[in-house]
């Protein structure tokens, strides 16, 4: 009898273990899906943003060191972009929005295109990518990159877009783009840079909460490489953030604020506040000097 009971108990334990193991695998798989595959498009857009940021810095350096090569590159890119937009417009007129992406997948971007006269084509306004009711421009943002923000502690490296208020609001609605109001000037006014706090790890400003006092972050623009030291990390209401920081031009030009919406970090009402990282300018390095360091290191610093 005792042996039978032991066998039954052993069989029951094995079944329970197998059930728990299967459930654990299922939870892990679900977590991986939610973290990576569900947000695959967002991760791809972020990779695109990082590439654009790197290209922006490369172009600034090229413009400084070899103006002729830079001008040639700009002209070639403008022509290529115009040709791409013309193909998209042709597809849109022929098939409508629903068939554009399907056609692109089957034909590819490398398909030969007819010859066009691009002199009068307003290709900057030619949108060609639509998702969830949002129409994106080729680089997913309107306006222009004013500088590149790098926060090593938080894994952030992305362009900071500026332009008209309409363009900035458009960019922020995309959830990925980092923006600054159009009347900021790096080195002349304070800076407030804002972006979304994505729910997925490592997306947008999701890891801004990991930044601590004493950490460094960087802004790179045509006027140079700016190093800021984090002097405060705090959370305030949206109205207070707007009134006391974003719209407050009495703040010195040595201050930069990185702002995002808060998420729960153990403080019950933190979620409803804006998280702000305050940085104080520590060094402004000429772009040419930074270019030499960047070339020697072979990596983005």
Catalytic residue list: 196, 261
* First CA to last CA distance, the chain: 72
Query: For residue 285, what are the contacts with CB-CB under 8 A and spacing of at least 6?
Result: 224, 225, 226, 227
3-state secondary structure the chain: CHHHHHHHHHHHHHHHHHHHHHHHHHHHHHHHHHHHHCCHHHHHHHHHHHHHHHHHHHHHHHHHHCHHHHHHHHHHHHHHHHHHHHHHHHHHHHHCHHHHHHHHHHHCCCCCCCCCCCCCCCHHHCCCEEECCEEECCCCCCCEEEEEEEEHHHCEEEEEEECCHHHHHHHHHCCCCEECCCCCCECCECEEEECCECCCCCCECCCHHHCCCCCEEEEEECCEEEEEEEEEEEEECHHHHHHHHHCCCCCCCCEEEEEEECCCCCCCCHHHCEEEEEEEEEEEECHHHHHHHHHHHCCCC
Q: Which residue, chain included where needed, has tokens 């997306």?
A: 203
């Amino acid at each position: 009898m005792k042996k039978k009971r032991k066998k039954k108990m052993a069989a029951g334990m094995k079944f329970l273990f197998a059930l728990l193991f299967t459930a654990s695998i299922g939870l892990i798989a679900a977590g991986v899906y939610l973290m990576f595959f569900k947000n695959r498009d967002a991760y791809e857009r972020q990779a695109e943003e990082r590439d654009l940021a790197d290209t922006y810095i490369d172009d600034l350096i090229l413009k400084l060191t070899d103006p002729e090569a830079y001008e040639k590159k700009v002209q070639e890119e403008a022509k290529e972009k115009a040709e791409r937009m013309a193909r998209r417009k042709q597809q849109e007129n022929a098939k409508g929005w629903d068939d554009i992406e399907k056609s692109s997948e089957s034909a590819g971007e490398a398909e030969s295109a007819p010859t066009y006269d691009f002199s009068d084509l307003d290709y900057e306004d030619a949108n060609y990518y639509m998702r969830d009711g949002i129409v994106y421009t080729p680089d997913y943002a309107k306006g222009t990159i004013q500088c590149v923000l790098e926060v090593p502690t938080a894994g952030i490296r992305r362009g900071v877009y500026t332009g008209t208020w309409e363009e900035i609001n458009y960019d922020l609605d995309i959830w990925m783009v980092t923006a600054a109001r159009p009347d900021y000037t790096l080195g002349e006014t304070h800076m407030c840079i804002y972006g979304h706090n994505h729910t997925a790890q490592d997306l947008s400003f999701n890891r801004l909460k990991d930044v601590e006092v004493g950490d460094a972050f960087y802004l790179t623009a045509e006027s140079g490489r700016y190093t800021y030291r984090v002097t405060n990390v705090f959370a305030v209401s949206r109205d207070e953030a707007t009134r006391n920081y974003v719209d407050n031009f009495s703040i010195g030009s040595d201050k930069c604020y990185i702002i995002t919406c808060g998420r729960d970090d153990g403080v019950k009402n933190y979620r409803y506040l804006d998280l702000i990282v305050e940085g104080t300018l520590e060094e402004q390095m000429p772009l040419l000097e930074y270019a030499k360091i960047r070339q020697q290191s072979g990596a983005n610093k």
